[in-house]
Amino acid sequence: MVSKLTLQMDIIKKYFPNLTPTQIQQFEQLQKLYSEWNQKINVISRKDIDNLYERHILHSLAIAKLYTFLPGAEILDLGTGGGFPGIPLAIFFPETQFTLIDGTGKKIRVVEEVKTALGLNNVRAKQIRAEELKHHFDFVVSRAVTQLDQLINWSFRLLKKKQQHAIPNGLIALKGGKVQAEIKALPRKEYVEVDPISNFFEEDFFKEKYVVYVQG
């Protein structure tokens, strides 16, 4: 009989068939880790923990379908919650440095524990507000944090001036729902790209879900 974990992992392997054995092992560990921590600290809604691989891990990896982070690049996950999209992206890009921040200490504790259990040396987790950060990054990523205009206010001052990727440094946000209204509310000078996730993930969950890039 095929285990539930095997079925869940199949959705990741379907879209990312070239994962290394180490990456597969790390992704496989996430179910147990988050299930155990979710019983102590509610970082994922109770009804959603059974859909961890589709609605949290694969959703986070939508960014990796569109953008490649270079070795040595520095990425900030702003408002990471329990570690999304930062933890899946850190597994996928093991030579890229990720800083995961959140204002809630108990959520950062979960991120620290998951990071340690997986041996993710490319992850730093900090309980800090974006306004307090002094460091600069190539890109800021976020998932279900706030409106785009507020994300820009927090993010753009944290971007490095030096460019090393094919696209200019900027904000990459996973958004759902009425994203066009958020884009219309931005100043006209902002350069924005919107990619429907349903273009490359066929599951119904990804209808009306988008990856939004705003150039810094």
pLDDT tens column, 80-120: 999 999 999 999 999 999 999 999 999 999 999 999 999 99
pLDDT in tens, 183-216: 999 988 899 999 999 999 999 999 999 999 999 9
Integer Cα distance of 28 and 33 in angstroms: 10
Least-confidence region, from 1-15, 20-34, 54-68, 155-169: 1-15
Place 25 in a pLDDT band, splitting at 50, 70 and 90. Answer: very high
Q: Is 139 left (phi over 0), alpha (psi -120 to 50) or beta?
A: beta
Residue 143: C-alpha distances to residues 102, 148, 155, 194 (Å): 12, 11, 13, 14
- Give pLDDT tens digits for 140-189: 999 988 899 999 999 999 999 999 999 999 999 999 988 999 999 998 88
Query: Is the Cα dihedral 107, 29, 33, 2 positive or negative?
Result: positive
Predicted local confidence at residue 110, as pLDDT: 94
Domain range annotation of the chain: 4-215
The backbone torsions φ and ψ at residue 193, rounded to the nearest 5 degrees and listed phi first, read -120, 135
Strands (DSSP E) along 34-122, which ranges? 74-78, 97-102
**170-176, strands of its sheet edge to edge:** 123-127, 97-102, 74-78, 139-143, 170-176, 209-215, 192-196
In angstroms, the CA 132 to CA 141 distance is: 17
Q: What percent of the chain has pLDDT over 70?
A: 97
CB 49 within 8 A of CB 34: yes
pLDDT value of position 188:
83
pLDDT reported for residue 47: 73
- DSSP character at residue 147: -
Query: For the chain, how big is the Rg over CA atoms in Å?
Result: 16
**What are phi and psi for residue 151, nearest 5 degrees?**
-60, -40
pLDDT surpasses 70 at 3: no
Q: What CATH fold (topology level) applies to the domain 4-215?
A: Rossmann fold (3.40.50)
Whether pLDDT at 53 is above 80: yes
pLDDT category at 4 given cuts 50, 70, 90 is low
pLDDT of residue 130: 92
